Structure 1
Amino acid sequence: MQIIAFTGTPGTGKTTLSKEFCKLYNGNYINILDIIKENKLYDTFDKKDDTLDVDINKFINFMIDFIVKKQNLNIECSEFDYLVIDSHLSHFIPNEYIDFVIVCVCDLKILNARLIERNYSKQKIKDNLDSEIFDTIVEEVKEIGHKFTVLNTSKNYIKNSIDQIKDLLKF
């Protein structure tokens, strides 16, 4: 079972792509936000920005254990071909536990519209646009040392993006 992480600034298409990938290619979709909430992997909740302040060390340690357990279960039953992790934090999981990272990026005008549609505060929109402008997540992924690709979701149709991902995973 390959472990694939979808990451990127909120609104860049991670969830849409990762869920569709799982449907088409026998993937086990993992929503990190649910895991963070259920396991209290955060310190505080920022009501103004509707954001959890995640304890990154707790998150990483939890995810390492989670991935190892999933891998052991899959060895026994071979249920899934992929474990697909969806979060703007998924790239923080150490590279020895992740086979490949898909960094979703998006045109700023399109991203801005998506974030407005989500009713994000002006400050939260600015913070996310700044993250995209400065390639924050791409730089973090490089620094961690993941095998990765950057996928621009601005104009790609979902099927085209999924096909690109599948081609990249033939390693």
Structure 2
Amino acid sequence: MRIAITGTPGVGKTTVSKVLAKRLNMEVIDITDVVKRYRLYIDYDEDMESYVIDFEKLNNFLKDKDNIILDGHVSHLLNPDYTIVLRCDPKIIEERLRKRGYKDKKVLENVQAEILDVCLCESKGKVYEIDTTNRDVEDIVNEIIEAIKEGKERKGIVDWLSKYYEYLEI
């Protein structure tokens, strides 16, 4: 099984992925790390301080891997069997990304992506959405395990747009 843990940077993907992998005895593949380490990118975007992923190379790298958790904000684009979309209050994401030293433009882009449900909208197949705001990681992992066991699907449980319209600068 391939489980994608996706969501905007700052929602808790890596923390959840590590705990989930331990509980399910699976390997975690950190997409950002793999892309850098194996040069699975087309270019580096200086402005956004991120790599432009070569999805053909990345998919080729992953083709023979199974029983894995794909940790990354593009993991839902990598043909998973099950996609878990983690969501979090945009104000909390903003705080976390600023603590990481992200540039203002990158913070704003990611906060806007969370408000507009970008990862959720791009996800296909079996998708289960979870709001991680102020929740314990063990509680989140328990919910994920139950959802996978029961084959649950869920989308549209959060609405940041009506709460944080001002971030969109419209």
Q: TM-score, normalised by structure 1?
A: 0.82
1:92 equivalent in alignment to 2:91:
no
What pairs up with 1:1-171 in 2 under 5 angstroms? 2-63=1-62, 65=63, 69-71=64-66, 82-94=67-79, 98-141=80-123, 145-170=124-149, 171=151
- Percent identity between matched residues is 35
RMSD over aligned CA atoms reads: 1.4
Count of residue pairs brought into register by the alignment: 150
- Secondary structure of 1:70's match? coil
Deviations 1:2-42 (A, max 9, x none): 21110111111100000011122212111111211122111
CA distance in 2, matches of 1:126, 1:51: 15
The structure, 1 or 2, with the larger RCO (C-alpha pairs under 8 Å, 6+ apart) is 1
What residue number does 1:74 align with?
Answer: none
User: Which stretches in structure 1 are left out of the alignment for 5+ residues?
Assistant: 72-81
The gaps in structure 2 that reach 5 residues or longer are 152-170
How far off its partner does 1:166 sit? 0.7
Runs of 4+ aligned residues of structure 1 deviating over 4 Å after TM superposition are none
| Amino acid paired to 1:57 | E
> Of Structure 1 and Structure 2, which has the larger fraction of its residues in helix?
1
Shift of 1:45: 1.5
- Residue identity in the other structure for 2:78: I
CA contact (8 A) 1:15 1:86 kept: yes
- State the AA in 1 paired with 2:142: D
Deviations 1:32-57 (A, max 9, x none): 11211122111222334321111233
What is the identity, as a one-letter code, of the residue corresponding to 2:65?
Answer: K
TM-score by length of 2: 0.82
Q: What is the CA–CA distance in structure 2 between the aligned matches of 1:131 and 1:57, rounded to whole Å?
A: 24
CA separation of 1:62/1:70 partners in 2, compared to 1, >3 Å: closer, same or farther? closer
The alpha-carbon deviation at position 62 of structure 1 amounts to 3.1
1:92-113 CA distance string (max 9 Å, x none): 113xxx2211101100111110
Counterpart AA for 2:92: I
